[in-house]
Amino acid sequence: MTARTSPLHDRHVAAGAKLADFGGWSMPIEYAGGGVLAEHAAVREAVGLFDVSHLGTGTVRGPGAAALVDACLSNDLSRIGPGKAQYTLCCVPDGEPDAGGVVDDLIVYLHGDDDVLLVPNAANAQEVLARLADAAPPGVTVTDRHEEVAVLAVQGPRSAAVLSAAGLAADLSYMAFAGGEGQEVTVCRTGYTGEHGYELLVAADRAGELWDRLLAAGAGEGIRPCGLGARDTLRTEMGYPLHGHELSRSITPNQARSGWAVGWRKPAFWGREALLAEREAGPARLLWGLRAPGRGIPRPGMAVLDDGGARVGEVTSGTFSPTLRTGIALALLDTAAQPAEGAALAVDVRGRPQPVEVVKPPFVPSHVR
């Protein structure tokens, strides 16, 4: 099956991007003239521009649209009002195999009681929207807009200056957005890097124009196009979960320390009973950070070992941290092993135990608020 391409595909090719498949989409990993390390540094020190149009987009509209989303997804929409966005989870409903596991994590944009925009991950977008459509009452319509909307991210300490120079809303509180249907660009003060930043939604046929405009506006601010390679190193330094790694049908919000994105007092959401039961009993494993002082880099799937060589967990994400200049990882560790911050463990790196220290992410300071 041929991978779908972003509306900005021609820009990426012209910039010498190395492309790879992400959730069925051909997306840039890195660009010529610097690569992941330079792109990572640009976001931490100045500003980076990402194309994340592989992310899904969908609308839920009609009387009771917000109520439907609130009754199905994990977080509590009553915590926010129109003009705000919220991180939430689509969990496996009670009564299904893997109840309480995570189908996807996503962002909800609340326009009003009858108008909600969803931004799920690429590989899971169709399932999330199909599940909501099946649960929708008469009069509520769920529409897949994946091909119609492009998503860009402007991230880094100079991101506000770039948006202002481009004539876009920059003075927004965290998780607030401006714009919507009928307006050129929707700008939300959020991101996936740990830096001050924004995510922009624009009609697919206007994406190229916006990309060029942002690069021109950021020319004096050190802006650099960034690929999904840097996006991964940046989010790992923050300890942010990636679906399929730290969240999945077999990894619950309790295990991934994502219970803050669950409205525990709500009367209903998918997987509620399974998650409440696990929360009461205590999860069998928990997500921790690992920092490697040596040269070996922990990678997903590697076993985590105690000082006696017994397996006590598994790495879910691992990479070289460009900021810390050492290997870092996220790992699910057995709670029975009683891991604690500062504990000395090891990761089996190709048959050799690599010493690691247990830490609580983020690995570097966050600047998102």
Residues marked as binding for substrate? 199
DSSP summary character for residue 15: T
CB 199 within 8 A of CB 188: yes
Residues 305, 125: contact at Cβ < 8 Å?
Answer: no
Pairwise CA distance, residues 18 & 98, whole Å? 36
> What is d(CA 235, CA 175) in angstroms, rounded to the nearest whole number?
17
d(CA 202, CA 209): 10
Nearest to 27, CA basis, from 12, 42, 37: 12
Are the C-beta atoms of residues 230 and 49 closer than 8 Å to each other? Answer: no
How far is CA 325 from its chain centroid?
A: 23
Burial 263-272 (b: 16+ CB within 10 A, else e): beebeebbbb
HSE on the CB side for 231, CA within 13 Å?
Answer: 23
261 CB contacts (<8 Å, ≥6 apart)? 74, 75, 87, 88, 89, 105, 253
Omega before 362 within 30 of 0, i.e. cis: yes
Tell which residue, 159, 152, 136, has the closest CA to residue 210: 152
Cβ pair 194, 237 in contact under 8 A: yes
Which amino acid, residue 224? Answer: R
Residues 277 and 111: their CA atoms lie apart, in Å, by 33
Q: Residue positions in the annotated binding site?
A: 199
